[in-house]
Amino acid sequence: MSYASLLVYIEADTMPEHRVRLAAGLAGTFNATLIGLSALANPPPMVTDRAVTEELRERLARQGDLFRRIAGADRHKLEWRAVLDFPVQALAREARSADLLIIGQSKTSVNAYRELNPGQAVLVAGRATLVVPEGVSSLRADHVVIGWKDRREARRAVRDALPLLQRATRVTLVEACPLGEDQTALARLDDVARYLSYHRVDTGSRVMLEQRGSGAEQLIRIAQEDGADLLVTGAYGHSRLGEWMFGGMTWELLATSPICCLMSH
């Protein structure tokens, strides 16, 4: 398996050079087409005029020039797309062209007219999404940790990550479970490991007992202790409203993980 096309989202007001370099590196690894996308929505009608619209188009065009320069202007499989629309809506629509989306983190509230909300993007895109922390400019995916929960989202994430998992030298399956349910959890992980072996992926399994505090923090700690550079998880296994009200694994990983996360919903 492979990725034939990757789409990297680029904010209109800043150039995430590290993310573009990571995306270009992955595109080279898989000999894939790399699509750069940026979007801006027109402000409310009472302040929108032709001059404002032209200014937005010029801003996006400048980002396109920078994208080509960083990704490599001589790269044959390179595309640029600039859209006058809300960033989340633009990404959801353009995602039809890609196997994998590459976006950044967000630790603060965003301006929906100018910035991409990562949580909303993962929820609506319908594609595997690689979330890249600030400053990370390459991804070998040499050691991958899969945060398993026996839900649809995790099953899809494992399937979506296969091209990377097949290249990894080490893959670890991790599931958190209550005290006394470790054998049941190991049986589930054995099934996942068997499935992955059919795709030429060798894995180890590890059960962590549920503890007080953040599940995301525990998963990140395990990944860091094991020297992993990629986490694979399902996204929003609970309702989006529940995650927003009470916190959740997806929200915390999106905001705080120092390791790249591949997520699917």
**pLDDT tens for residues 101-126?**
999 997 667 899 999 999 999 999 99
| Measured distance CA(188)–CA(185) in Å, rounded | 5
Please answer whether residues 185 and 191 qualify as being in contact, where contact means their C-beta atoms are separated by less than 8 angstroms.
no
* Average pLDDT of span 55-80: 92
Helical segments of the chain, H only: 17-30, 50-71, 87-94, 118-124, 152-160, 162-165, 182-198, 215-225, 240-246, 249-256
Look at residues 252, 28, 264, 239 and name the one whose alpha carbon lies nearest to residue 158.
264
Interhelix angle 182-198/152-160, nearest 10 degrees: 30
What pTM did the predictor assign?
A: 0.92
Q: Which residues neighbour 215 within 8 Å (Cβ) at sequence distance 6 or greater?
A: 176, 249, 252
Q: Which CATH class is domain 5-132?
A: alpha beta
pLDDT 10s digits, 131-162 = 999 999 999 999 999 999 999 999 999 999 99
SS3 15: coil
Architecture of the domain defined by 143-264: 3-Layer(aba) Sandwich (3.40)
| Measured distance CA(9)–CA(12) in Å, rounded | 9
- Predicted pLDDT at 237: 67
Q: Which residues neighbour 13 within 8 Å (Cβ) at sequence distance 6 or greater?
A: 59, 114, 115
Q: Where in the chain is the domain with CATH 3.40.50.620?
A: 5-132, 143-264
CB atoms within 10 A of CB 176: 18
Look at residues 255, 249, 254, 206 and name the one whose alpha carbon lies nearest to residue 226.
206
Work out the burial of residue 245: count CB atoms within 10 Å of its CB; fewer than 13 is exposed, 13-18 middle, 19 or more buried: exposed
| Measured distance CA(212)–CA(198) in Å, rounded | 36
Please answer whether residues 263 and 157 qualify as being in contact, where contact means their C-beta atoms are separated by less than 8 angstroms.
yes
- Predicted pLDDT at 210: 65
Does 214 score more than 70 pLDDT?
no
Name residue, tokens 């929906």.
Answer: 112
Half-sphere exposure of 205 (CA within 13 A, CB side): 20
| Measured distance CA(67)–CA(88) in Å, rounded | 19
237 vs 193, residue with greater confidence: 193
Which pLDDT band holds residue 238 (cuts at 50, 70, 90)? low
Which pLDDT band holds residue 98 (cuts at 50, 70, 90)? very high
* Average pLDDT of span 69-83: 89
| Measured distance CA(137)–CA(24) in Å, rounded | 10
